[in-house]
Amino acid sequence: MSSYLCAIGTANPTHVIPQPQIATFMAEALQLDDNEARKLRALYRVTGIGQRYSVLADYSRSNGEFDFFPNTPDLEPFPSVGQRMAVYRECALPLSVRAAQDCLRQVPEVTLASITHLITVSCTGMYAPGLDLELVQKLGLRPNVQRTCVNFMGCYAAFNALKLADAFCKADAGANVLIVSTELCTIHFQKNQEEDHLVSNALFGDGSAAALVRAVPAATGASLELAAFHCGIEPNGHADMAWHINDFGFEMTLSSYVPRLIQKGIRELTDGLLENLPVQLPDIQHFAIHPGGRKILETIEQELGLTTHDNRFAYQVLRDYGNMSSATVLFVLHELLQSLTAPDRDAPVLSFAFGPGLTLEAMLLKVAFGDN
């Protein structure tokens, strides 16, 4: 029995902020001198990001006009975890609802009453009763929908949600699984001049993606069969990508060594995925790679012999949205799905995502149409 990714919907906050404007905010917030500010702007220019979205308007404003951060030269008293979680509780639900509605309108044969499972994914906020229950009530899902939460796993967490959805559909051919991945990364800005924090502040944005997984393809348009999964761990990267809850928000560690660690593990990860499948790397026609950063994409291209055209959907998402943690790879898959036409039928698709641990996830999909 197979399962299919039938539709993906996306949503972003209303505040879209050009990358140079965010760099100006950061330079002022960190109280950098002219030389340090120049270096910071250079870092922002090489990210490959043109703009990012945030639930906070402050990143497009000057000190004295802030709504969330204090209007003081050093932003003190710096917002607490509680203040940041209050923003998450206020903003995560409407964003998630928009993504879910965008997803479900693409598959009119699936009604709200027919959704059997709801999987929520997030690492940027938690509360209880949580986003899962609020989504049930706001969307009008049936009260006995089976709810599962995938929390605090970082950028690869959507893969775990897809694995769960795959298992649910294989256990019940009538299952309709709605995945909602919502990340508000920008509420966790850290006022720290260490390199890891400077890099994190330059990459992350806010967004939500919703996906529908069923045991049959969508009636119209392209779907993606979930053909195989494989996971690897690079233990030497345990401290190079991490996510900790501290007094003033969630703190991301993102070392400059991460691309090097992925370079060491990506070929083994790919070989492990394809080892027992009738597909080899030269057979892969489409790629959906989590754009954790421009250097990560370039490293994978070098190791696997890919071109920037192969990686075009990842670069497009990175440019237009930045890294939205777990939602990002679903945005990439959304762009891929929109591009598929009848000649792509049965074409294999290779997808990767990476996160704390250092965890490396791989997935093989196959293009399908409703009349397969």
Q: Which residues are catalytic?
A: 155
Residues 266 and 287: beta-carbon distance below 8 Å = no
The b/e string for 163-176 (b: 16+ C-beta within 10 A; e otherwise) is bbbbebbeeeeebb
Residues 177 and 165: beta-carbon distance below 8 Å = yes
Non-local (6+) Cβ contacts of 355 within 8 A are 153, 154, 155, 156, 157, 241, 361
Alpha carbons 28 and 31: distance in angstroms, whole number:
5
Alpha carbons 69 and 29: distance in angstroms, whole number:
10
Non-local (6+) Cβ contacts of 370 within 8 A are 216, 217, 218, 219, 220, 221, 223
Non-local (6+) Cβ contacts of 129 within 8 A are none
- Tell me 20's DSSP state: H
The type of residue at 18 is: P
Element (H, E) at 353: strand 348-355
